[in-house]
Amino acid sequence: MAGTQRELVRAEDIPLGVEFALGAYVVTEEEILAFSRQWDPQDWHLDPDVAAVTPFGGIIASGIHSLAIFQRLSVLGLFSGWAVIAGRTVRDVQLVKPVRPGATLEGFITATDCELRRPGTAMVTTYGELRAEGGLVLSAVFDVYVATAEIS
């Protein structure tokens, strides 16, 4: 368990209904192209000429890339301090607006629910948002197994 060496926040101590700011991430065009080349090689994600004549008018990030950026912000900003066992589901990922090269993305998480699943293990539900210049670009709900104090 990740919680053996440091004092990590146990499931029952996670405040519900409180929004955590996770910090910011600037996504470059180079990174957008590299991610899409590896994981989402659709031509309108890769070729500026093709992208120029889409409804977006230019290169946009893969939705999986935006989700990965959100996960990085979540881990560095919050989950690394929690006694996380594993993720279980990702629900309702809304790709609300395109993410463009140079965007500064800010992450936010609110824990909304915590249910004991078996001795030592709770399911914590979180609602996350990624915003660019204050506007929502991605939202998602995550269910994550988090250890309770009993098994520490």
For position 42 contacting a second copy by CB under 8 A, the verdict is yes
For position 21 contacting a second copy by CB under 8 A, the verdict is no
Binding a second copy (rule: CB under 8 A), the pick from 50, 116, 136, 149 is 50
Start-end of H helices in 24-83? 29-39, 43-46, 48-52, 63-77
Interface map 89-128 toward a second copy (x if CB under 8 A): xxxxxxx--x------------------------------
For position 76 contacting a second copy by CB under 8 A, the verdict is yes
Core vs surface per residue 9-32: b (16+ CB within 10 A) or e = bbbeebeeeeebebeebebeeeeb
Please give the Cα distance from 76 to 70 (Å, whole number): 10
Identify any residues that bridge with 67 across adjacent strands, giving them in sequence order. none
Name the residue among 42, 39, 41, 44 with its Cα closest to residue 58: 44
Nearer to a second copy, 77 or 110 (CB): 77
Name the residue among 137, 130, 139 with its Cα closest to residue 60: 137
Residue 40 C-beta: closest distance to a second copy, Å: 5
Residue 44 C-beta: closest distance to a second copy, Å: 5
For position 85 contacting a second copy by CB under 8 A, the verdict is yes
Nearer to a second copy, 98 or 126 (CB): 98
DSSP tag of 101: T
Please give the Cα distance from 32 to 35 (Å, whole number): 5
Residue 13 C-beta: closest distance to a second copy, Å: 18
Interface with a second copy (CB under 8 A) = 1-2, 4, 38-44, 50, 53-56, 60, 62-64, 67-69, 71-72, 75-76, 79-80, 84-95, 98, 140
